[in-house]
A and B are shown apart, each in its own frame.
Chain A
């Protein structure tokens, strides 16, 4: 399960993520991390779906906003021509062309944005 964690400017200076991992003992994979004067944002993947709820809970207890990233790859079907330019550049093979549609395995995606740039129709966005 992928989670987006939003820090305000108070929490951005605290080891929130480290303490969540230490307390829950659930391993997470950091996919993105951004810090600005206003605060910060981290996207983490919790590979073990069953234990994701406890991670969400722990983040809330630390006082940061957390939401599950359900559908995070958006394909504009009005522009997509199902060519395949995004398929083989994907390092985790999360995209397939099935017949005339493009199928995305959201769980595999590591948000590297290779597909976003590979798309000649500029039809792909990451949320």
Chain B
């Protein structure tokens, strides 16, 4: 078998020669997929020199290195803000890194680092504010001015993780609306949100990393960029590869870099990124022709607030792009967080640049890894769980008990919550001392009439801070703890949690 990256059909030099002569055959990935469907991959491999790809989506691991130049007198900035968004200043005196997800100190997530970057490439004036500590060489303490991108010595977009090969789609099994980084997820599998360009996806079109490597010249944010290495969190063995890229921000465009706000989540940057795939061998010719029908991803349930969310089903990008996804026996509307329209624009733009001879291809100077262990973060040390603080001696009652008897229980045991259980100990409702006071005042006798049946519950192994969040959300002071079968195994109240804090403080 040919080695990875073998240039058996054409070399980079030959492709670039044809680009310069103006007779290179260039197709977008959409066009190439259609071409291969019609004429077959053998003919395509012979005819086509370059396939252009594109993606345009939220890429949180993005940001820019900026060098402001020295003021007079100079300042050693140790903190700085651009339009009131903090930039990282743990660098030399006037170097800073503005991250896409940093948020404004007055406008919050409605304006973030991504918006600052968009304003910079739009050549708008941006307010720069900085604090320094005086030294013999940098006497200034404070600085406030306005700058444009042209005033800066360097402005370099440097994104540690871009262009996910594909992305997991999201749905929501719970009965409330979730606002996630995958957008708004309606209750009870009410919709599916996805991201990624499918058959246009740059990294999917070169899954073996035969032509994309360190040094590959790419289309980035409307300008020219380079792949500088493996992206963070890259997981190529699961088709979840990413790349690290950089490029001159001054030459980029707000058409392909857009600041964004994901509701109740945060600020980010939408990045347009395209990579040319030279058809150097038959394997690359075949890989680049993969259609949406053969590109799969998983729909996962964001209703489970855990690192490993359950997979609901596997789905192709063709199905996702159709706007409807079958979940169980119901069709859920599906729509995208990333922009397919702009992804196509990227691929078209890159194709035009190549056809005009303004963009030539580069051979990687170093291949990218095709396997990378994917590690989670183990939190070492004690983290309280529900079972550590809950009361296991639960005073409970049955749905047909008399209100006055239960009121006596509350008084004699000094509790505020009485879970109502059936004969098998399974939870069917709850009453609080307040419910009982009201029942007695209104002369109600049966517990069934006054109990709450939609009960907020906790699980024994749940992290305590999730329970605290739920207590706040529902404005309640306690909840029953139930096992897998719905049997009450304890009760956890704000008093139990307060006690934990007292113990810790002591």
User: Is A89 a contact of B336 with CB atoms below 8 Å?
Assistant: no
Question: Hey, which chain A residues are within 8 Å of B344, CB to CB?
Answer: 100
Task: List which A65-107 residues lie within 8 A (CB) of chain B.
Answer: 79, 81-89, 91, 93, 96-97, 99-100
User: Is B335 a contact of A81 with CB atoms below 8 Å?
Assistant: no
User: Is A97 a contact of B335 with CB atoms below 8 Å?
Assistant: yes
User: Is B258 a contact of A88 with CB atoms below 8 Å?
Assistant: no
User: Is A82 a contact of B339 with CB atoms below 8 Å?
Assistant: yes
User: Is A89 a contact of B183 with CB atoms below 8 Å?
Assistant: yes
CA distance A94 to B192 in the complex (A): 16
Q: Is the interface of A mostly helix, strand, loop or mixed?
A: loop
Question: Hey, which chain A residues are within 8 Å of B341, CB to CB?
Answer: 81-83, 97, 99-100
User: Is B335 a contact of A82 with CB atoms below 8 Å?
Assistant: no
User: Is B184 a contact of A93 with CB atoms below 8 Å?
Assistant: no
Interface 9-mer from B66-74, B159-167, B259-267, B296-304? B259-267
User: Is B262 a contact of A84 with CB atoms below 8 Å?
Assistant: no
Q: Which of A81, A82, A91, A96 has a CB less than 8 Å from the CB of B270?
A: A81
CA distance A77 to B57 in the complex (A): 18
User: Is B191 a contact of A89 with CB atoms below 8 Å?
Assistant: yes
User: Is B191 a contact of A83 with CB atoms below 8 Å?
Assistant: no
Q: Which of A81, A82, A88, A122 has a CB less than 8 Å from the CB of B193?
A: A88
User: Is B184 a contact of A114 with CB atoms below 8 Å?
Assistant: yes
CA distance A37 to B392 in the complex (A): 53
Question: Hey, which chain B residues are within 8 Å of A81, CB to CB?
Answer: 56, 258, 270, 339, 341-342
User: Is B184 a contact of A87 with CB atoms below 8 Å?
Assistant: no
Question: Hey, which chain A residues are within 8 Å of B56, CB to CB?
Answer: 81
Q: Name the residue among A79, A93, A99, A122 with the largest chain B CB count within 10 angstroms.
A: A122
Question: Hey, which chain B residues are within 8 Å of A93, CB to CB?
Answer: 333
Let me know if B338 is at the binding interface, CB within 8 A. Answer: yes
Let me know if B77 is at the binding interface, CB within 8 A. Answer: no
User: Is A87 a contact of B270 with CB atoms below 8 Å?
Assistant: no
A117-B263, A122-B261 given; A89·B184 CB < 8 A: yes
Per-residue interface assignment for chain B, residues 20 to 64, with 1 indicating a CB less than 8 Å from any chain A CB and 0 otherwise: 000000000000000000000000000000000000111000000
Let me know if B87 is at the binding interface, CB within 8 A. Answer: no
Task: List which B151-195 residues lie within 8 A (CB) of chain A.
Answer: 179, 183-186, 190-193
Q: Which of A99, A118, A121, A122 has a CB less than 8 Å from the CB of B184?
A: A118
Let me know if A47 is at the binding interface, CB within 8 A. Answer: no
Identify the closest chain B residue to A101 (Cβ).
B341
CA distance A120 to B269 in the complex (A): 10
- Interface size classification for chain A: 20 to 34
Question: Hey, which chain A residues are within 8 Å of B337, CB to CB?
Answer: 83-85, 120
Question: Hey, which chain A residues are within 8 Å of B486, CB to CB?
Answer: none
Q: Which of A83, A88, A97 has a CB less than 8 Å from the CB of B192?
A: A88
Identify the closest chain A residue to B56 (Cβ).
A81
CB proximity of A9 to chain B, nearest CB, Å: 33
Task: List which A27-59 residues lie within 8 A (CB) of chain B.
Answer: none
CA distance A91 to B338 in the complex (A): 20
Question: Hey, which chain A residues are within 8 Å of B261, CB to CB?
Answer: 120, 122
User: Is B258 a contact of A121 with CB atoms below 8 Å?
Assistant: yes
User: Is A83 a contact of B336 with CB atoms below 8 Å?
Assistant: yes
Per-residue interface assignment for chain B, residues 246 to 278, with 1 indicating a CB less than 8 Å from any chain A CB and 0 otherwise: 000000000000101111000010100000000
Let me know if B334 is at the binding interface, CB within 8 A. Answer: yes
User: Is A85 a contact of B183 with CB atoms below 8 Å?
Assistant: yes
User: Is A122 a contact of B110 with CB atoms below 8 Å?
Assistant: yes
Question: Hey, which chain A residues are within 8 Å of B364, CB to CB?
Answer: none
Identify the closest chain A residue to B184 (Cβ).
A89
User: Is A82 a contact of B342 with CB atoms below 8 Å?
Assistant: yes
CB proximity of A109 to chain B, nearest CB, Å: 16
Question: Hey, which chain A residues are within 8 Å of B186, CB to CB?
Answer: 88-89, 91
Let me know if B323 is at the binding interface, CB within 8 A. Answer: yes
Q: Which of A88, A91, A99, A117 has a CB less than 8 Å from the CB of B335?
A: A88
CA distance A82 to B263 in the complex (A): 17
CA distance A49 to B179 in the complex (A): 35
CB proximity of B152 to chain A, nearest CB, Å: 25
Identify the closest chain A residue to B324 (Cβ).
A88
Per-residue interface assignment for chain B, residues 341 to 366, with 1 indicating a CB less than 8 Å from any chain A CB and 0 otherwise: 11010000000000000000000000
Q: Which of B270, B332, B335, B340 has a CB less than 8 Å from the CB of A120?
A: B270
User: Is B260 a contact of A120 with CB atoms below 8 Å?
Assistant: yes
User: Is A84 a contact of B335 with CB atoms below 8 Å?
Assistant: yes
CA distance A81 to B339 in the complex (A): 6
Question: Hey, which chain A residues are within 8 Å of B262, CB to CB?
Answer: 120
A81-B56, A81-B270, A88-B193 given; A118·B263 CB < 8 A: yes
User: Is B110 a contact of A85 with CB atoms below 8 Å?
Assistant: no
- By Cβ-Cβ distance, the 6 closest A-B pairs, closest first, are A84-B335, A87-B335, A88-B191, A89-B184, A120-B260, A88-B335
Apart from A89-B185, A120-B183: 10 A-B pairs, beta carbons within 8 A: A82-B340, A82-B341, A85-B184, A85-B335, A86-B335, A88-B193, A89-B193, A91-B190, A100-B344, A120-B270
Residues of A within 8 A of B (CB): 79, 81-89, 91, 93, 96-97, 99-100, 114, 117-118, 120-122
